Amino acid sequence: MALLDVIYRDDHLVAINKPDALLVHRTRLSGDRMAVLQILRDQMNRTLYPVHRLDRATSGVLLFALDSETASQLGNAFAERQVHKTYRAIVRGQPPLHGDIDHPIMDPDDPVPRPARSSFACLETLRLDQEIEGRQATYSLVEVRPETGRRHQIRRHLKHIHHPIIGDTTYGRGPHNRFFREQFGLYRLLLHARSLELIHPHTGQPLRIEVSETEERSWRLFREKTNGQWGTTEIV
């Protein structure tokens, strides 16, 4: 197993650029033999404490604590929404320049819809010559900041505004997913956790941990194949 990419480390925290297709930790139901927690624990030869999660299919910034006290402090910070998360995604169509999504989310094991809020901005748009479902193939790079942390919140919110994420086999559109597989060789969910912003629990100083989506091989190759076809959208 290849080493995980450590993008930040100090005496209390470590962050990696999580690859897609890896669970954060193994579960009895998943059947996965390897997961991020196990790989990174062996790589660093020490105990690690997960403080938040990313879906298996999502890449990007994933943070761990190196001791239980720090884990407890960060757990409280996440629960109290003191940690600001930014994601990037490729979606179908062209969303508005920016907007807020306030749409409750219901989980199968919870009959009560829970409040869920996200804000987004459309950064760039790609228009291709092909037609998909009778329309010009149009896709956008969006930046999303979830204010709450519901399960699959970003994926479900972008579907709610009719701009599902490419590669999303649960909430997305099959013809567009197939087009990306055939045209660009992309089989993954194009959702990336780009940054975390928080107050360091020990120094009290602001900390921003960031990794660009184009540092992932699949994103980088996709951008190289579509170079020159993106139109920059001015955010106002």
The C-alpha atoms of residue 9 and residue 15 are separated, in whole angstroms, by 6
Residue of 32, 55, 109, 129 with catalytic role: 55
Other Cβ atoms within 10 Å of 155 Cβ, number = 22
Domain of residue 161 covers: 5-232
Distances (CA, A) of 64 to 15, 50, 72, 183: 6, 5, 11, 37
User: Does residue 55 have an active-site annotation?
Assistant: yes
- Report the CATH number that the domain containing residue 207 is assigned in CATH: 3.30.2350.10
The pLDDT value given to residue 235? 46
CB 94 within 8 A of CB 225: no
Task: Output phi, psi for 48, to 5 deg.
Answer: -125, 155
The pLDDT of residue 199: 97
57 Cβ contact list (under 8 Å, min separation 6): 20, 21, 167, 188, 189, 191
Q: Are strands 49-50 and 13-18 parallel, antiparallel or unpaired?
A: unpaired
Q: Say which DSSP state 154 is in.
A: H
Q: Give the per-residue pLDDT at 236.
A: 40
**Domain total of the chain:** 1
Phi and psi at 69, nearest 5°, equal -65, -45
Q: Using one digit for the tens of pLDDT, what is the confidence trace for 30-65?
A: 556 688 999 999 999 999 999 999 999 999 999 999
- 168-189 pLDDT, tens digit per residue, is 999 999 999 999 999 999 999 9
Give residue 108's pLDDT: 73
Is residue 213 scored above 80 in pLDDT? yes
